[in-house]
Structure 1
Amino acid sequence: MIHIVIPVFNRKHFTKACLESLQRQTDQSFKVIIVDDGSTDGTADMLKEEFPEVEVLFGDGNLFWTASVNMGIKHALASGTDYVMTMNNDVDVAPDFIENTYKWARQKPNAVIGALEMDADTREPIFGGEIIDFKLNKVRHLLQELPKEKQVGIHRVSQLPGRGLLIPRAVFEKVGLFDQERFPHYVADYDFTHTAARGGFELYCNYDAKLYTYPEESGERKNRISKSLNNFYKHLFDIKGGGNLRDFTRFTLKNCPKPYVPYYLVNGYARRIFGYIVK
């Protein structure tokens, strides 16, 4: 059984669309846990009235992504789940998403498996896993390397985001939960997959399990569209800043091989500072 953990804060229209896509699944062998961290837009009432099958946990508005996800994971593990899947509320999933998730989970029962991310508007693939090179501070995007005919099945990667991320129970039992102390909002998912890999668990992206996202709705994308000194500061230092230097530093010190740390930090700082200005 898979327990899907979805943290939410307002934006109930996204949550509703996400849950409706899960209701259309060809395989209904899953349960959904929503962690509502203080929504004020009627999310709780909508869930109670329209999705009574969904378990809802409540936060006080100060959990952010990582603590919200950990709350849901703890609940799922206590319920005896075999797998936890983390998912954001601003995604829809293809009707065979769960079916194709189980298909590869049966073949790789101890692997951490991510999903193929599609643009919800164009229906074109936009993310299919990454392979990081700490030595050169480069990230290879697997989707850009694979010819169209090979964009099926599972492919080995070195890091994954938390959107549609399937995690076996055994991973939590060995490496623990997401690191909410170091990474309260962003980077926790990438850090967790690196931690799992060091713990001996393989990472794959499942090109048969498609989810649809809205790139223009991300806080970082909106920040870049409306550039200002204030938004530049938020980009680098706010807890929800996509270029948060604190999170990047902590991620590097925890996951980068020590010989490569100085170059990786300097190069990464430059990319986050000047990348915001020129892009």
Structure 2
Amino acid sequence: MLHIVIPVFNRLHFTRACLQSLRRQTHQAFRVIVVDDGSTDGTSEHLAQEFAEVEVLRSSGDLFWTATVNLGIRRALALGADRVMTLNNDVVAPPDFVEHMLLWSQRQPRALMGPLELDAATGKPVFGGELFSFLTHRTRSLLDILGPDQRTGLHPVTFLPGRGLLVPAEVFHTVGLFDEGRLPHYLADYDFTSQARRQGFPVYVNYATHLLTYPDESGQTQTRRHRSFRGYYQHLFGIRGGGNLANFSHFAIKNAPATYLPLFLLNGYVRRLVGYFLH
């Protein structure tokens, strides 16, 4: 059975909307595990009252994204999950989301999959997968590559984010869990899917289904909206910093081909040092 793992920290209104959308799924053969990492807005108590079908795990508030997700994955695997989906709480799933993800997963049982993402406010596509070059450090968006008539079915990508990421249990048994030791918050999802792809598991974006997301609510967007030298320091060295230099170094060493690694590291450091003020 599919188990959906949702890490949360506050933002109860997003969590409620996400869980309500899961209640409306046409396919209901799944279980939901919410991992509440120290919320102070009464999230756990409210979910216990309104969503009795959801299992809520509570942690102390110092796990950050990666360890929080791993806690839920361990619980899902202990319950016998054959597939696990990681899902952010600030998404809304259309009624056929789970049905279509599982349909395509049955066709490609060893594949990791993520959905096409639409802006919840406008309905416009905001993420449709990427092809990344470790040589040039450049990303090509499939939304720019694929024509309207090609935006259907599965398309291979280099890696995927954890928003709606469907993972067969076999992948965890082969690759392990997300790397909470070296990548406690950002890049753990990209690292995990990259590692899985390198070990022979296909990685696809599924254009047959989509999630509604809120791009302006991401941590990196919020940080860059109010730029400051303190924010710059957090960007480069904070655990939640999108440009964290240590995290990038670990990701690069684990995933970049050895012949490209020096140039990839240099390129990445420069982008992170100056990019905070340019985007």
Superposed pair shares fold, TM > 0.5: yes
Question: How far apart, in 1, do the equivalents of 2:201 and 2:64 lie?
Answer: 27
Aligned residue for 1:101? Answer: 101
Q: TM-score, normalised by structure 1?
A: 0.98
Aligned residue for 1:176? Answer: 176
Aligned residue for 1:75? Answer: 75
Aligned residue for 2:141? Answer: 141
The runs of 5 or more residues in structure 1 that have no matched partner are none
- Give aligned pairs, total: 279
CA deviations over 1:83-132 (Å, ceiling 9, x no partner): 00001111111111001101101100110111111111011111011111
What percent identity do the matched residue pairs reach? 56
Structure 1 SS opposite 2:259: helix
CA deviations over 1:120-157 (Å, ceiling 9, x no partner): 10111110111111111111111211111211111011
2:86 aligned with 1:86: yes
CA deviations over 1:3-35 (Å, ceiling 9, x no partner): 000011111111000001111111111110000
Which of 188-197 and 139-148 deviates more?
A: 139-148
- Kindly provide the amino acid, as one letter, of the partner of residue 100 in structure 2: N
Aligned residue for 1:40? Answer: 40
- Kindly provide the amino acid, as one letter, of the partner of residue 207 in structure 2: Y
What's the C-alpha RMSD, in Å, of the aligned pairs? 0.9
Aligned residue for 1:245? Answer: 245
Question: How far apart, in 1, do the equivalents of 2:278 and 2:112 lie?
Answer: 35
Map 1:226-237 onto structure 2 (within 5 A). Answer: 226-237=226-237
Deviation of the 1:209 alpha carbon: 2.0
Question: How far apart, in 1, do the equivalents of 2:185 and 2:209 lie?
Answer: 25
Moved beyond 2 Å, runs of 4+ = none
Question: How far apart, in 2, do the equivalents of 1:174 and 1:227 lie?
Answer: 41
Aligned residue for 1:49? Answer: 49
Structure 2 SS opposite 1:17: helix
CA contact (8 A) 2:130 2:140 kept: yes
Question: How far apart, in 2, do the equivalents of 1:116 and 1:11 lie?
Answer: 23
Structure 2 SS opposite 1:258: coil
Q: TM-score, normalised by structure 2?
A: 0.98
CA contact (8 A) 2:44 2:58 kept: no
Aligned residue for 1:113? Answer: 113
Deviation of the 1:185 alpha carbon: 0.7
Aligned residue for 2:131? Answer: 131
- Kindly provide the amino acid, as one letter, of the partner of residue 223 in structure 1: T
Aligned residue for 2:191? Answer: 191
Deviation of the 1:182 alpha carbon: 0.5
- Kindly provide the amino acid, as one letter, of the partner of residue 240 in structure 1: R
